[in-house]
Amino acid sequence: MKLFLAILLTSPLIAAPIKDSFSDGSLHEATRGAWTYSHKTASCRSDPKLYKKFKNHGPIIRWSSEFIDGSTSLEFKPTDCQRVVFTFNGDGHIFRVIFMDTESSKRKASNRVIAWAEKSSKTNKGTSSVPEGLPGLAALNNKWTKLSVNVIDGSTDLTIGEFRTTIKHPALKRDKNSITLSFASGKIDIRNFSHNPKPAPSKQPHP
């Protein structure tokens, strides 16, 4: 029995793959909006009243997974959105890709990537970067675009349609527990979500 417990405590955490066909909401959590499911697609239209109620936060869809490294991909179609945000979360935000409608936005805004080497907070804004060629919402509007993020040992291969880049940052080595996609204004459609995590090593027990 002691040997069995020791193996359990020192073995890697089991991280299960996720392949969401959006037949229902069983594999994810969708909030802050009226999400619907049809033809293997999740869809939601932004509600200005709810946006204001949630302090300028729009609809969000979330998948739970304990991982450090792994591959994640989905296809999304933003229609007249002001902002779309893809995020890895753990102890706060970890890695985020922000798409903005820079052409119609009334405030200064930019498409960018943000990574947090330590827990995100009001004082820790993370490291922002703008990879050359990173597409904005004007280029993606009303089009199906595949987004994929492949994280391996502190580095990620980020692909958005025809755009590709590699990003290295300490944030990518942090423990992650969820993947989210949120948006503001307009409508979004999502399909073909796939997540294949690599097992994260468990924490060693105290002596």
User: With bands split at pLDDT 50, 70 and 90, how would you rate the model's confidence at 201?
Assistant: low
As a whole number of Å, the CA-based R_g of the chain is 18
Residue 7 falls inside a structural domain: no
pLDDT of residue 107: 56
- CATH number for the domain spanning 138: value is 2.60.120.560
User: Per the structure block, which two tokens stand in for 44?
Assistant: 């939601």
Residue 9 falls inside a structural domain: no
User: Per the structure block, which two tokens stand in for 165?
Assistant: 């880049």
pLDDT tens digits for range 145-198: 999 999 999 999 999 999 999 999 999 999 999 999 999 999 999 999 999 998
Residue 151 falls inside a structural domain: yes
Domain count of the fold of the chain: 1
Residue 90 falls inside a structural domain: yes
Q: Is 78 helix (H, G, I), strand (E, B) or coil?
A: strand
Mean residue pLDDT of the chain comes to 88
Please answer whether residues 102 and 120 qualify as being in contact, where contact means their C-beta atoms are separated by less than 8 angstroms.
Answer: no
| Better-predicted residue by pLDDT, 97 or 53 | 97
Closest C-alpha to 90, from 116, 61, 112: 116
| Range list of H helices, the chain | 2-10, 48-53, 137-140
Residue 67 falls inside a structural domain: yes
pLDDT tens digits for range 158-173: 999 999 999 999 999 9
pLDDT of residue 13: 45
User: With bands split at pLDDT 50, 70 and 90, how would you rate the model's confidence at 11?
Assistant: very low
- Model confidence, pTM: 0.87
pLDDT of residue 178: 96
Residue 33 falls inside a structural domain: yes
**What does the alpha-carbon distance between residue 16 and residue 26 come to, in Å, rounded to a whole number?**
15
Domain enclosing residue 89, as ranges: 18-197
pLDDT of residue 102: 80
Residue 96 falls inside a structural domain: yes
Residue 203 falls inside a structural domain: no
Q: Is 196 helix (H, G, I), strand (E, B) or coil?
A: strand
C-alpha dist (Å) from residue 196 to 27, 29, 69, 93, 140 = 14, 18, 9, 20, 25
